[in-house]
């Protein structure tokens, strides 16, 4: 009895090992290549449970989805002799698993070769266009040319290139520093020119203001002299008219002028007789 159970257990275990070695699954995102002693036997594209000869055949699972390819940054020289550091990426899918296995073997080797192909196409295509073309509406055409050249090379690996794009295109660091220095020098030159023009305009405005000030002062002095002369003339006329009407008025006026000029706070003290001729118009002040 025990021997029968042991034999049955060994049989079940052997059947399980045989089944695990014979059966495998392929999901919707995969495709498989069955190899026998390293030689490809068949390609499996449909998902599901599949069988193979145990211990003799092996299965290589390949991705059938769109895969990303990220080559290293490449420095290219454009047609106008400008240098650019181009960071590009590509998307691809494996169309022919058999050719892919025979030419590349696995995805790591294929990506290494495709990186070189993408950068080579970038150098060829971008070397025939200018920086303006990359920055203008011609960019889609340039990218299509790159994708077409990469696709032609990728077909021998059983790969289809879905898309190629430029993620970034920057000037090299030394070129950027040179452009920055040139821009700074240009801005400094423009600033110095603006300051010089401002100083010139300031000097012109100041000179014009000084000239106008001199003219205004001269005209004011002239007008004041004229008005003063007219005032003195009118005063003399009034004095002459008053004197002609009363001869004593002129003597009285001249005495008041003498009082005004001699009796002020800045003069020295005068000692005079109150009954003298100088105070004759003061009346009786004793």
Q: For the ranges 37-46, 85-94, 178-187, 192-201, which has the lowest average pLDDT? A: 178-187
Would you place residue 285 in the very low, low, confident or very high pLDDT band (cuts 50, 70, 90)?
Answer: very low
Full DSSP string of 113-172 = HHHHHHHHHHHHHHTTS-HHHHHSTTHHHHHHHHHHHHHHHHGGGTEEEEEEEEEEEE--
Question: Distance between the two ends of the chain, CA-based, in angstroms?
Answer: 176
Q: For the ranges 9-23, 57-71, 80-94, 207-221, which has the lowest average pLDDT? A: 9-23
**pLDDT at position 145, please?**
92
Q: Is-above-0.95 flag for pTM?
A: no
**pLDDT at position 10, please?**
65
**pLDDT at position 75, please?**
86
Instruction: Say which DSSP state 46 is in.
Output: S
Would you place residue 85 in the very low, low, confident or very high pLDDT band (cuts 50, 70, 90)?
Answer: confident
Give the pLDDT mean for 96-104: 89
């Amino acid at each position: 009895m025990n021997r029968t159970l042991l034999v049955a257990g060994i049989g079940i275990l052997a059947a399980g090992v045989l089944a695990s070695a014979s059966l495998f699954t392929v999901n919707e995102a995969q495709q498989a290549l069955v190899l026998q002693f390293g030689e490809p036997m068949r390609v499996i594209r449909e998902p599901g449970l599949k069988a193979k000869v145990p211990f003799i055949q092996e299965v290589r699972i390949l991705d059938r989805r769109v895969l990303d390819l990220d080559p290293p940054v490449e420095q290219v020289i454009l047609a106008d002799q400008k240098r650019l550091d181009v960071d590009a990426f590509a998307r691809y899918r494996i169309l022919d698993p058999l050719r892919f296995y025979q030419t590349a073997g696995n995805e790591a080797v294929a990506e290494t070769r495709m990186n070189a192909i993408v950068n080579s196409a970038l150098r060829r295509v971008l070397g025939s266009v200018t920086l303006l073309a990359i920055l203008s509406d011609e960019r889609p055409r340039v990218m299509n040319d790159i994708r077409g050249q990469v696709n032609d090379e990728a077909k021998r690996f059983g790969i289809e290139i879905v898309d190629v794009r430029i993620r970034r295109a920057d000037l090299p660091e030394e070129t950027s520093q040179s452009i920055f220095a040139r821009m700074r020098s240009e801005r400094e030159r423009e600033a110095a020119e603006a300051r010089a023009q401002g100083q010139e305009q300031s000097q012109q405005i100041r000179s014009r203001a000084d000239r106008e000030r001199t003219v205004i002062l001269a005209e004011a002095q002239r007008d004041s002299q004229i008005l003063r002369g007219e005032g003195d003339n009118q005063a003399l006329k009034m004095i002459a008219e008053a004197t002609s009407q009363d001869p004593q008025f002129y003597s009285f006026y001249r005495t008041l002028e003498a009082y005004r000029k001699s009796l002020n706070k800045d003069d020295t003290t005068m000692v005079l007789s109150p009954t003298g001729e100088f105070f004759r118009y003061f009346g009786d002040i004793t």
